[in-house]
A = this chain, B = another copy of it.
Amino acid sequence: MQENKPLILVTNDDGVSSKGIRSLVEVASRFGEVVVVAPDSPQSGMGHAITIHDPIRLHTSDIFDPIQAYATSGTPVDCVKLAVYEILHRKPDLLLSGINHGSNAATNVLYSGTMSAAVEGAMEGIPSIGFSLESFDQDADFETSKKVVSDVIQLVLENGLSKNTCLNVNIPYVSEADFKGIKVCRAAHAFWEDRFESRKDQFGRPYFWLTGDFVDQEKSEDTDLYWLERGFASIVPTQFDMTDYKALETLKNWM
């Protein structure tokens, strides 16, 4: 534990005015000095995108007054870069992303702006945690989530995180009474079976909406999806080296 109050950067992908980030700021401010840098509009599904073809806008926001806050046109990953290099001019002691409206369990970590911000934090060497609630409801109840967030922040401040690792924390949408506890586990190999809804605009030209079903292909124990279904919050330690080390030797034999 640090002697001084830790500096905590809070971001998300649902935008600076979402209920999820308000719940996260509320809990985070019990642990340290909070600075918020978040997108000015929803950026779900932005993955690890960065803004390189357009200029980025950055404005102060009084939405969390007296907590210092900024809203930006950038992506969640841009928020982390802006915070470290343009606003704080130092690395925060902790980065918290979320609370996301909707699960980021399993392979959703790749599509998630919320989790990509946490991964970017890990790349910057900042202890980073992404939080997601299994409900897309914009007015969802975050009471159980706030308890989980508090417990996980406490654990990370006490134990630290190993270099290159952030946490992907997903929280089931259950009441405090039905909440079973927290499990550390791996990410399930589950995938989207996509569909496109085809419609016509006012000029008769087609356009598509991406939709689909999320299918858990392995149904194994000790995955995030397994525990979430049973009323537990899941913590998946998450890293950013995408090298497939198992395949490395096989491929070397090709040459």
A interface, CB within 8 angstroms of B: 42, 44-53, 55-58, 77-78, 81-82, 84-86, 107, 109-111, 116, 119, 123-124, 155, 159, 161-162, 164-165, 168, 182-187, 189, 191, 194-196, 198-199, 201, 205-210, 235-248, 250-252, 254-255
Contacts and interface: CB of A to CB of B under 8 A. Distances in A.
Stoichiometry, copies per complex: 2
B237 A243 contact: yes
Nearest to A166: B244
B208 A86 contact: yes
A31 to B, nearest CB: 17
Contacts of A82: 196, 208
A159 B195 contact: no
Contacts of A199: 55
A25 to B, nearest CB: 23
Contacts of A155: 254
20 contacts: A42-B53, A44-B52, A47-B47, A48-B48, A48-B110, A49-B49, A57-B205, A57-B206, A58-B206, A81-B210, A85-B194, A85-B196, A86-B198, A110-B116, A119-B242, A161-B247, A162-B244, A182-B255, A238-B243, A239-B247
